[in-house]
Amino acid sequence: MPPAPEVAHHATLDARMVRAARGIKLLGLVSWPMEVQQAFLAQRAAGNTALPRFDYPKHDFSEARRELDAIAAAADPQHPLGRYLAESARAWAIAAELLEALGSAAVTTHSQRLFGRPDEPLPGNGPSTREAARHFIAIADELDRELLAPSEQVAISATALQLQLQSDLDDFFNQRVIEVVLDPSLIAKAAAGATRIRLRAGAAFSDYDRHQLLQHEAFVHSLTALNGREQPLLQSMALSSPRTTATQEGLATFAEQITGSIDIERMKRVSLRIEAVAMALDGADFVQVFHYFLDAGQDEVESFSSAQRVFRGVPLTGGAAFTKDTVYLRGLIGVHTFFRWALRQRKLRLCRQLFAGKMTLADATRFEPLFDAGVLLPPRWLPHWLSRANGLAGMLAFSLFANRIRLDAMSDAPPLLATQ
Can you give 226-238 as a three-state secondary structure string? HHHHCCCCCHHHH
Backbone angles phi, psi at 121, to 5 degrees: -70, 150
**Distance of alpha carbon 21 from alpha carbon 60, whole angstroms:** 13
pLDDT tens for each residue of 38-68: 999 999 999 999 999 999 999 999 999 999 9
**Distance of alpha carbon 56 from alpha carbon 79, whole angstroms:** 39
Q: Give the per-residue pLDDT at 91.
A: 98
416 pLDDT higher than 50 = no
85 pLDDT higher than 80 = yes
Q: Residue 121 carries which DSSP code? A: B
**Distance of alpha carbon 323 from alpha carbon 110, whole angstroms:** 10
What is the secondary structure of 178-200 as a DSSP string?
A: SEEEEETT-SSSEEE-SSEEEEE
Q: Give the per-residue pLDDT at 418.
A: 45
**Distance of alpha carbon 90 from alpha carbon 95, whole angstroms:** 9
Domain boundaries, the chain: 25-60+101-404
11 pLDDT higher than 80 = yes
- Looking from the CA of 84 toward its CB, the CA atoms found within 13 Å total 27
Q: Which of 167, 164, 227 is nearest to 195 (CA)?
A: 227
**Distance of alpha carbon 80 from alpha carbon 366, whole angstroms:** 6
Cα three-residue angle 347-349-353, rounded to 5 degrees: 130
Residue 239, classed as helix, strand or coil, is: coil
- Looking from the CA of 57 toward its CB, the CA atoms found within 13 Å total 8
**Distance of alpha carbon 319 from alpha carbon 50, whole angstroms:** 17
pTM of the model: 0.90
pLDDT tens for each residue of 166-197: 999 999 999 999 999 999 988 888 889 999 99
Please give the average per-residue pLDDT across 334-356, as a whole number.
Answer: 91
